[in-house]
Structure formats: structure tokens, C-alpha cells
Structure 1
Amino acid sequence: MELMHRALLTALGALSVFYALVKISLGYWKRRGILHEKPKFLWGNIKGVVGGKRHAQDALLDIYATYKGRAPFVGFYACLKPFILVLDLKLVHQIIFTDAGHFTSRGLYSNSGGEPLSANLLQLDGNKWRTLHAKSAEVFTTTNMQKLLPRLAQISTRIQSDLGKMDQQTCNISELVGAYNVDVMASMAFGLGGQDHQEFAKWSSRYWANFKLWQAYLALEFPLIAQLLRYKSYAEPAMAYFQKVALSQLQEQRRKDRQPLQTFLQLYSNADQPLGDAEIAAQAFGFLLAGLGPLNATLGFCLYELARHPELQDRARREIKKTLDRHGGQVTPEFLRDLRFTKQVLNETLRLHTPHPFLLRRATKEFELPGSVFVIARGNNVLIPTAAIHRDPEIYPEPERFDPDRFEEEAKLSRPQASFLPFGDGLRGCIAARFAEQQLLVGLVALLKEHRYAPCAETTVPMAYDNRRLLLAPKSDIKLSVEWKD
């Protein structure tokens, strides 16, 4: 009886301590005297997000719409973790550009000792990131991206082959664009040649097979404990496969003399400040981690919108055909620059269906907002709600309407700075943004130049997003009717 009594007292004591810690965590913004959204016990301000009942972008949009105009930023909680949600575009510009030196960290979990491929530009912070970023800047130049274009155009021809089997049939667009983007990743990030990429595709869909949101959250909150417990973010068999492929391809390319430039492995290993092979392998995985899902989603969303707006689709197809004729049917940098309306279509897709609904930064120094009493403390996690900004009716009237003319030059100049951030920007923006845009445009040309798309019985209207993912993706595969159209 006495033992049960002690156990009960111990349990009650532990619960009391836990309750007190939760209340202390959820009182951070109140103690700071910062305007904030009142949190719910345990869930903070993201109730429904963890369980998949609503998407993270919707939760952030609600907070943004409620508090915009009342302060430059507002406090909120992701479960027990306090975040700053930026509301003012001038502050967004300061964080990304003018005062980026105060916000060089993302605060993501990385364990390069236990998971060597996590030592990539996306996940690293501090001096390791600065050194790696400086060396990588030499790789991602405009000239180098143009040199890779012929290989990218060659890979895109598979789309035509696949579409040739689907005339006037229902087409799984998600699978079609996924095959193209996997080919690009396998060939250009990992150096795999013309061989079948089936195994690469398999592991590309499985490296997060054991992902659990609560474990990832604890790793972010307590990184030192996570490293001591040897927490792994990714499935070990997938990591072993990707590392083996990258290292073997690096060795293979060194055995070949004067081969044409076709991969990022070559660019990294031939740089003036070359990385070690293990570091290059980590950057190849970073491509996959940061790019594959968003690129798949963006091309799928783009075709979905064009199928629902046939007049815009016809306009884009006419531009592609006329521009190809002017350039002798060749996909060149000049050809891509001339695709003005097609690029507007792509940008409007990125605005309406923003693949990265938010940008994450962590203050590495205390930052006092100029001309105000507001201070972002060192260590504060800062979140820029890109999807909410892209759907702000004061910036983009009728934000739910798909309108590529929003990205005509005059319209772009009329909007404030930092109002369009699909790839982030500044010091910690996507270093491969030029290549990502090039990959999307080349894919779109291959998809549209000889085929036309329309909604079918299996098309989901309106679009439904997968609430289980932090990045934006359709809830189910996008399916459209496709027909050959010269």
C-alpha cells in the first residue's frame, strides 16, 4: 500500500513539473511583452496541423491575416516552441537582404557524424555552412547553369516518349513529371548515366519512410540529446544507397578524360576550391532533399491550372512553338529568356501553390528594428510566411484567381520588395534557384509543345493539399486528359 502511495505521489509530482514546464514555455511571449496569438495547452497555435487536419500554411495564413498591420511581427507557438511570424514586408526585406548577417542560421537538425549526407547546405549552420556556401557559390554561376542546359534538354525528351503512349487518355501527371525530375536528379546531381533509374526512384520515395513528426520536433528542440541518442532523420538503407552512388560516380568520372560537362559532381570536383568526396555526396543529397518534392508539385500544379484555363494554355503553347521556330528548335539560354509568358505562368503557379509555405531563420545576433522599440532576441526562431504573403489581397488582388499577367514587368514593379519569394532569397536563399527555374521551364516546354491537357473525370477540383506534409503537395495524384496537338 505504501509503495502504491509513493508511486502515486511520484506520478503526481512528475505531472506537476511537466505542467509547470509547459506553462513556462507557453508564457515566453507574454513575459517578453510581445503581441502574440494565445496558445492552446501542448499544441500552441498549430492544433490540427500535427494530426493532419489542416495544412501548416493555413494555420500561418490565419495568424498573418489576424495580426497584419498591428505590429511588424507577432509571436506564436509551434507546440511548445516559440516562433516569430513576420508580418511586415520591410522587415522581411531586412531579414533576407539588408541585415541578413543577423539571420544566417536556419536552426534545422543536422548530425553529420551519424548521418554524413545531412552535412548539406540546407541543414548546416554556423562556420560549416559559411565555408560550404562560399565554395558552392563558385559552382552555381549563370555560366555553369547554361553549360548544363543541353543535358537537361536531352533528359526532357523522355517526356515526349511517355506522352506518345497516352494520346486522348487519362494521364497521371504526378507520375509523368515525377519521372522527369527523378531522371534529372539521378543524372545531374548523382552522375548516373543513361541507365534505368528505377532503383534511384525507389529510394527517392523511401528515404523518409520512418519519418515521425514528434521525433523530428524533439530533435529540433533538443539537438544535443538527439545526437547522443543517435537519432536518424532518414532511413539508413536509403542513405547508404545515395552515398554509395555519389562516391562511385565521382570515382568513375575521374577515370574518364575530357568528358562533356553534364553533372554537378563534375562542377564540385573541378572547382578551384574543391570539396571532399563525402562533402560532394552530401550536396547531391541536398539537391534531392530540397528540390525533388517541390519541383514535382510545381510542374503538376502548373499543368492543372493550364488545364482549367484553356485560353492561357493555348497562349503558352503558341509562345513555345513560335519561340522554338525562331531558335531553330534548339533549347538554348536565349530561347528560355524569350519565353516571357510561359515564365509568367510558372511564377503564378509558384505564387498560388507556393511549394515552401514558409522560410525559416534563427537570429544569431540581437536585432533591434530601426526606428522602433521591437527587438528580435538572439536565438529567436523567425518564420517568414511566404504562402500567406503570396495570397495577401493587398499585394495580389483576388489572390485565389490564377492570373499570369500579375508577372508582367510593370505589374512586378508596382509591388513592394520581398513580395515574391518562392525560392527564398538573399544569403540563405536557394543557391540552386537558377537551375530549378531552368529545370521547370525545360520540363514545361517538353510537356506543352506537342500536347494539350484538359480536366477529366478523375481530376480533383478544387485542388486539395496533403496536410501530412510541411511542403505543399497535392493530396492525391493529379490526373488530366491529354491529347496530341501539333
Structure 2
Amino acid sequence: MELMQHILWSSLGALALFYALVKFCLGYWKRRGILHVKPKFLWGNISEVVRGKKHVQQLLLYLYESYKGRAPFIGCYVLCKAFLLILDLELVSNILDSNDGYFTSRGLYNNVKVEPLSGNLFQLDGHRWRQLHAQSAPVFAANNLHKLLPQLLKSSRKLQLGLGVRKQELNVSQLLDSYNVESIAKLAYGLSSEDLSEFSLMTRSYWSNWSLWRAYLAMELPILARLVKYQSYERLANDYFYKLVQEQLQQQRKRDRQPLQSFLQLFAATDKSLTDAQIAAQAFGFILAGLQPLNATLGFCLYELALQPELQERTRAEIKRVLKANDGQLTTDGLKQLSYTKQVLNETLRLHTPYPFLLRRATREFELTESVFVIARGNNVVIPVAAIHRDPNIYVEPERFDPERFRPEAVLKRPAMSFLPFGQGLRGCIAKQLAEQQLLIGLVALLEHHKYEPSAETQIPMLYDPSKLLLIPRKDIKLSVQRLEKD
């Protein structure tokens, strides 16, 4: 009997301590006197997101619209973790650009010793990130992208062949995944088209063991996560990508004066040589940060053009004009001439922003100009990119797809930081030019000889998958595709 009473009182004591700890965490913004969204016990402000009722983009848009103009930022909670939601574009500029040295951390979990692939530029922070970023920046120079252009063009020709010659309903999402997987396999890993089956499988399975709760606990308690050797990615895929890079590097080192064919060669030739583990992590970064956003952007773009055939025809006409002026070949100069096509892609990135938010963590205390407020060292910051992109005060009728928004004169009229699909500043996407090139080349191949229309299987209106942090379609995008007769 005494034992049962002891267990009962111990359990009640533990529950009371847990309750007090949660309430203390959820009282952070109140104690600091910061305008904040009232949290729910344990869930914070994301209960509907966790339960799959809302995409995180919908929640951020609601908070942005509800509080914008009342303060430069508000406090909110992801479960029990306190975040600042930035509402003022001038403050966004401070965080991402003019004072980005205060916000060089993302606060993501990594454990390089146990999981070498987590040592990529996307996940690293602090001194290791600074050093790796300085070594990696020259890798993405325009001259290198020019030399690797033929590899992308080969993948795009294969994409074009996959569209067929007869009118058919096509799973566009699957086709685009094949194109981007092959492009990354060639550019980042130096693989040939014949070695893609296992690679493609692993790009779909590396996050199969991902859990929001485990990821949250790893971010909140990184020391404990490292002690228990928590891994973000599925072990089999982890081992595959790491071993693949080692094999490719060994083959590469046996050859003398080989032409530039992949980023592996560029990473291996940095001024202060990277280790094989560091190179493997950077190659994995192409998949982690790039594959799903590239797939989604091209898919959303075709979807919007299928709904507006006049815009589709205008884009195709420019593509044909540029190709004809360059003897049927897509060159670096030709890509620069695709001004309207790039407007179409930018409007896609605005309306269907792959990364609906940016994360930053203050590495030093930051005082807001002409304000009593301070962003404390260690505060986590959320910049609601997708909400900014749908602000009617910046973009008139923001739900309407209109590439004219990105005419040069229209862009100049908008405030800085009103378009952030690749982030900005020190922690902006280091591979932005490569991503834009891959998207443009893919869109040229898709539109040059084929037209797209909605089919009976096309999901209208577009719905996003609420179980994902990125903005990706809830269902695969399916369209009617037909080769143009005059071609």
C-alpha cells in the first residue's frame, strides 16, 4: 500500500513539475512584454498544423494578416519553443541583409560525427558554417555553371522525349522528379544516366523515418540528441550517399585532366581541400535543399500556364524566338534573353513559394532602431516569406497569377525584401543561380514543342500537402499534354 502511495505521489509530482515547466516556457513572451499570440498548453500556436488541418503557410498568413501594422514583430510558439514572427519589411532587411551578421544561425540540428551528411551548408551553424561557406562560394561561380550547362541540357532533352508525341494525360509531378533527380545525379554526383535507379529510390526514402516530434526535440535539446546519437535521415540512405561520393571521388582521382563534369570535382579542388565527408555532405545538400522545391516549382508553373493558355503561348513564343536566334541551341546568353519566361518562373515562386518561411537565430543581441524592443541572443526568428508574397499591399490581387508583376519597372516600385524565394544575405541560397538555370532549362524543354491543358484528373483549385513543411501539391499534378502539330 505504501509503495502504491509512493508511486502515486511521485507521478503526481512529476506531472506537476512537467505542467509548471510547460507553463513557464509558454510564458516567455508575456514575461518580456512582447505582443504575442496566446498559446495552447503544450501545442503552442501550431495545434492545427500538427493535426494536419492546416498547412504551416496558412497559419503564418493568418498571423501576418492579423498582426501586421501593430508591431514590427510578434511572439509565437512552436509547441513550447518561443519564436519571433517578423512582420515589418525594414526589419526583415535588417535581419537578412544589412545586419545579417547578427543572424548567421538557423538553429537546425546536426551531428557531423554520427551523421556526416548533416554537415551540409543548410544545417551547419557557427564557425564551421562560415568556413565551409567561404570555401564553397567559388564553386557556384558563373563560369562553372557555364561549363556544366551541357549536362543540364542532356537531362532536359530526355525530359522532352518523355512528353511523347500523342495527346495524353501525364503525371507531370513524376516526370519532373525524374528530370531533377537525373540533373542532380549528374551535376552533384557525376553519375551517368545508367546509374540512376538506386539513386532515385534513395532520394525518395532518406526522410522516411522523419518525425516532427523527434525533429523538434533534437532542435530543442541538441546535446541530448547527440548523446543518444539521434539521426535525421534514414540510415540506409545515409550510408548509400556517403559511400557513393567516396566511390566517385576515388574514380575521379584516377583520371588526369578530366573535363569538368560535376560539382564533386569543384568541391574536391577548393583552396583548402574539403574532406571526403564534407564533400559528401555538400552533394547531399543538393537533394536536401533543392529536389522537392525544383519539382514543385516546375509543376506549379505548368499548372498555372495550363489554366491560362494565352500566357503559355506567349512564353512559348519567346522560347522559340530565342532558340531561333541562337541556331536552335540554348546557350548561356540565350538564357539571359528569356526575360518573360523568367517572369513566369518568378511569379510561380511568388504565388507557390517552395519555402514558405525562413528561419534565423540571433547570435548576438540586436536592438531595433528607434524602438525599446530587443531581439535577445538565442531568440529564434521566423520570416513568413509566403505571407509577404501574398500581401495585397505589395501585390495587387495576390491570388492571381500574373507574370507582369516582374517586369523590371514593376519590381523597382516594390519595397526591398518583398520577394524572397531564395532568401537573402549571408544565409541566402548559395546555389540560387544554378537553381534558376535548372528551372529555365526545364521549362524551355517542356514548352518548346508541347502544350498543356487541364484534364479530368487535374486538381483545381490547387491544394497543398499539410503534412509537409514545404509548399508541395497534396496530389501529383496531372495535365493533358499534346505535341504541337506544326512541330
Q: Report the counterpart of residue 6 of structure 2 in structure 1.
A: 6
Offset at 1:143? 1.5
Q: Distance in 1 between matches of 2:254 and 2:454?
A: 50
Offset at 1:4? 1.7
Partner-residue secondary structure (3-state), 1:105 = coil
Q: Report the counterpart of residue 401 of structure 2 in structure 1.
A: 402
Q: Report the counterpart of residue 379 of structure 2 in structure 1.
A: 380
Offset at 1:409? 0.3
Q: Report the counterpart of residue 412 of structure 2 in structure 1.
A: 413
Q: Report the counterpart of residue 163 of structure 2 in structure 1.
A: 163
Q: Distance in 2 between matches of 1:8 and 1:80?
A: 26
Residue by residue, what CA displacement relative to the aligned partner does 1:293-351 show, whole Å, maximum 9, x if unpaired?
A: 11111110000000011000000000000110001111111101000110000000000
CA contact (8 A) 2:182 2:193 kept: no
Residue by residue, what CA displacement relative to the aligned partner does 1:45-74 show, whole Å, maximum 9, x if unpaired?
A: 111111211101111111111110111111
Q: Report the counterpart of residue 208 of structure 2 in structure 1.
A: 209
Partner-residue secondary structure (3-state), 1:275 = coil
- Give the partner amino acid of 2:352: H
- Give the partner amino acid of 2:65: A
Offset at 1:275? 1.2
Q: Which moved more, 1:469-478 or 1:188-197?
A: 188-197
Q: Distance in 1 between matches of 2:335 and 2:272?
A: 30
Q: Report the counterpart of residue 144 of structure 1 in structure 2.
A: 144
Q: Report the counterpart of residue 352 of structure 1 in structure 2.
A: 351
Aligned residues: 485
Partner-residue secondary structure (3-state), 1:220 = helix
Question: After superposition, where does 1:40-439 map in structure 2 within 5 Å?
Answer: 40-164=40-164, 167-439=166-438
Q: Distance in 1 between matches of 2:199 and 2:223?
A: 32
Question: After superposition, where does 1:20-31 map in structure 2 within 5 Å?
Answer: 20-31=20-31
Residue by residue, what CA displacement relative to the aligned partner does 1:235-259 show, whole Å, maximum 9, x if unpaired?
A: 0000111011111111112222232
Residue by residue, what CA displacement relative to the aligned partner does 1:211-254 show, whole Å, maximum 9, x if unpaired?
A: 11100100000000000011010000001110111111111122
CA contact (8 A) 1:344 1:408 kept: yes
CA contact (8 A) 1:104 1:364 kept: yes
CA contact (8 A) 2:453 2:479 kept: yes
Partner-residue secondary structure (3-state), 1:148 = helix
Partner-residue secondary structure (3-state), 1:170 = strand
Offset at 1:271? 2.6
Segments ≥4 residues shifted beyond 3 Å: none
Q: Distance in 2 between matches of 1:346 and 1:209?
A: 30
Q: Distance in 2 between matches of 1:51 and 1:190?
A: 38
Q: Which moved more, 1:252-261 or 1:119-128?
A: 252-261
- Give the partner amino acid of 2:204: S
Residue by residue, what CA displacement relative to the aligned partner does 1:46-105 show, whole Å, maximum 9, x if unpaired?
A: 111112111011111111111101111110001100000000000000101100010000
Partner-residue secondary structure (3-state), 1:237 = helix
Residue by residue, what CA displacement relative to the aligned partner does 1:271-306 show, whole Å, maximum 9, x if unpaired?
A: 333312211111000111000011111110000000
CA contact (8 A) 1:365 1:378 kept: yes
Offset at 1:162? 0.8
Q: Which moved more, 1:193-202 or 1:312-321?
A: 193-202
Q: Which moved more, 1:264-273 or 1:400-409?
A: 264-273
Equivalent pairs: percent with the same residue? 62
